[in-house]
Amino acid sequence: MLRRRIGTTGLLVIALTACAGGGGTAGATPTGGKAAPPAPSASPSASQPDPVARTLARLSVEEKVGQLFMPVLYGTTATSSSGENQTRYGAATPAKVVARYHLGGVILFPQNVKSVSQVVGLTNGLQRASKEVPLLIGTDQENGLVSRMSALMTDFPGASVIGAAGDPALARKVAEATGAELRALGVNLDFAPVADVNVDPRNPVIGPRAFGKDPQRVAKMVAASVKGFADADVAATAKHFPGHGDTSVDSHTGLPVIKHTKAEWERIDAPPFKAAIGAGVDAVMSAHIVFPKLDPSGDPATLSKPILTGLLRQKLGFDGVISTDALNMAGVRQKYNDGEIAVRAVLAGADLLLMPNDLPKSYRAVLAAVRSGRISERRLDESVTRLLKLKQAKGYLTEAPVASASRADDVLRSAEHRRLATRVKSAAG
């Protein structure tokens, strides 16, 4: 992976996808796991300037707010003009949308994927569009049912097949191989693994996306997968907190209610997330589900401070990046307008606001909330600091990675990876 050195005046752009480590082992990833809270307002040291603090200090409030947003953009190159972009965002090309909103996110979906050389050109073009801080470019590549890059990548089996194989070592190898293929395309964050325990066979949204129905087996597979992504130097995301496995309602179209008691949550839903945090997971995605025994307000977990801050941050000790699930889903849009949803997600503890239904309205609402003091500047800085720390951990806070089409051709659907896919399917029976 080549790298492009960046400039010195502030623009942070992060590209992510929604549903739903740094090299070596995931446990060494400083962005996730049980870590001390960031010092968001710290000033760079005169003798040893901290790159995170230095970058944070040069960002304007408008740029910091932009870092929180991860919309879907339209087009197959960074300079492709699209009426959809123009209508939604007031700018025709992905590069111009990035600049207009100082974006912290761009989602890659199948509509952005045509060929290996095209995706490499797109991700490199998006990186060039960020004049300051390199992009986090992500996608939902769970394998199996949810595989946004399936047109180009090895056909690895989904989580339920890996879970049936029963070998965490295979789960780690599949995650590492998946991460290697993503990284070759210029994608450096995956919204995987699914950490839900599929205890309701009628579940219309999780099902085979989960490793299974046994919490302890799922926990082992999730931890192994987190480590595998870390081996490939791709950020991993455990989803969907606090657990989307026991529902017959799809949060894309409705608002599920999970009726587990706190004791049941501890026994059924919590183990995979605890395992992910213990393995050093980089990010955790929230679920658009109501969990009355964890928060009686009736708000979905994405908008719940007791769940995101009280439970995930304070009880489980997670200090990595918290991402919302897609904010255009019905499960999060039943009580509040699009601007208020974004504000409430930040107040609840979210760092990444994924796929807002109305980006201009949501951006203005968060910016107004910061200017009014409803969202403190310290709270804003906490989120931006976590995002910058994630980039620093992956090695591209100050140098942008540059993908290579020839390298991608060697890695994607390699004979080794195809053999691994066959091995997992055979082990699962």
Residues 303-348: pLDDT tens digits? 999 999 999 999 999 999 999 999 999 999 999 999 999 999 999 9
Tens digit of pLDDT for each residue in 249-289? Answer: 778 888 889 999 999 999 999 999 999 999 999 999 999 99
Q: Active-site residues: which are they? A: 252, 325
pLDDT at 35 over 50: no
What is the 8-class DSSP label of residue 41?
T
**Count of residues in the chain:** 429
Instruction: From 315, 338, 242, 321, select the one nearest 284 (Cα to Cα).
Output: 321
Token pair in block for residue 57: 């200090």
Q: Which band of pLDDT confidence, cut at 50, 70 and 90, is reported for residue 17?
A: very low
Q: What would the DSSP string read from start to end of 38-107?
A: P-TTPPPPSSS--HHHHHHHT--HHHHHHHTEE-B---SSTT---HHHHHHHS-SSHHHHHHHHT-S--B
Mean pLDDT of the chain: 89
Give the span between the Cα atoms of 424 and 167, in whole angstroms: 9
Please give the share of the chain, as a percent, with pLDDT higher than 70: 89
Q: Which residue has the tokens 């307008």?
A: 337
Token pair in block for residue 49: 């300037």
Q: Is the pTM of this model over 0.75?
A: yes
Report the amino acid identity of residue 173: K
**DSSP reduced 3-state for 63:** helix
Q: Which band of pLDDT confidence, cut at 50, 70 and 90, is reported for residue 402?
A: very high
Between 116 and 395, the more confident residue is: 116
Q: Which band of pLDDT confidence, cut at 50, 70 and 90, is reported for residue 48?
A: low
Domains annotated for the chain, with CATH where assigned, are: 2-428 (3.20.20.300)
Backbone angles phi, psi at 69, to 5 degrees: -105, 135
Q: Which band of pLDDT confidence, cut at 50, 70 and 90, is reported for residue 13?
A: very low
Question: According to the model, what pLDDT value does residue 23 have?
Answer: 33
Q: Which residue has the tokens 């896919």?
A: 421
Please give the share of the chain, as a percent, with pLDDT higher than 90: 75
Give the span between the Cα atoms of 222 and 226, in whole angstroms: 6
Mean pLDDT over 159-174 rounds to 97
- The burial class, CB within 10 Å (0-12 / 13-18 / 19+), for 221 is buried
Give the span between the Cα atoms of 173 and 231, in whole angstroms: 9
Mean pLDDT over 288-313 rounds to 97
**DSSP reduced 3-state for 400:** strand
Token pair in block for residue 344: 């409430």
Give the span between the Cα atoms of 326 and 287, in whole angstroms: 9
